[in-house]
Amino acid sequence: MKRSGPLLTLLAGLLLGLFMLSLNATTGEKSTSSYVKPPGSGKPSPGTKASPSTAPARTSAPPSPSPTRTSVPEGLYTGRTDDDSSAVAITVRDDKAIAYVCDGHNIESWLQGDVRDDGSLRLTGKGGASLDGKVKGTKEIRGTAEVGSGNYAFTIDKAKKSSGLYRANSTVAGAKIEGGWIVLPDGEQVGILRRDGEPSPAPEIAPETGAVTVDGQQLTARPVTP
């Protein structure tokens, strides 16, 4: 009976070893699980681009209409101021304009400037003189002119062949001659001749040729165009 002790101890050790090996084999396995994304999730995963069908449609604004241009027919416009004190002539060419305002005695001004897209004129001259006008229809310009201390309203028409605007610059008997003439549709002539800056009523010219006699000497006045 005394000899059975070591055998029992050895047997118990073997059983314990087998039990431990079986336990390690069982507990050493790791189960794996996979995550399934639940349906209905509205958030896209990072880096995912939105579908083109869900992008909002972009509408382009309609182009702005281009402004309408009101051209001033080229040519000469002549007439008298509303108060009948002076004459006005405006000649238009290539969107440029030159004007002459004259009372035939001592008030006159030459002005020039551009024709704007809306058919209006803004002309300027020496001494702060100015002229504002606008085409009405195809044969009329209405406006006002400021010359010296005077303000002159006018309505002038497209000129006929007999009308004209002329200018002369020369020297006669040592004096500097500067002359301006407006020939109105009825043949009336309004102009000023300056001798060394001194004004006086201008002598008549021949509208067909521009010939004019000043102090016994014949000069030629030229038609004015921009």
Residue 84: predicted pLDDT? 97
Q: pLDDT of 21-43, one tens digit each?
A: 555 555 554 444 445 455 555 55
Global pTM value: 0.69
pLDDT mean by block of 10 residues, the chain; 226 residues: 57 63 53 49 53 56 60 90 97 95 97 93 96 89 95 94 91 95 96 96 94 95 90
Residue 138: predicted pLDDT? 75
159's tokens? 């000129």
Q: Are strands 198-201 and 222-223 parallel, antiparallel or unpaired?
A: unpaired
E strands, the chain, in order: 75-80, 87-93, 96-102, 108-115, 120-125, 130-135, 140-147, 150-158, 164-172, 175-183, 189-195, 198-201, 211-214, 217-220, 222-223
Those residues with Cβ within 8 angstroms of residue 145's Cβ, 6 or more apart along the chain or in another chain = 81, 88, 99, 101, 109, 111, 129, 130, 131, 132, 151, 152, 154
User: Could you give the CA distance from residue 91 to residue 139 in angstroms, rounded to a whole number?
Assistant: 13
Q: Is 158 helix (H, G, I), strand (E, B) or coil?
A: strand
Residue 31: predicted pLDDT? 46
Residue 40: predicted pLDDT? 52
Residue 15: predicted pLDDT? 65
Residue 32: predicted pLDDT? 45
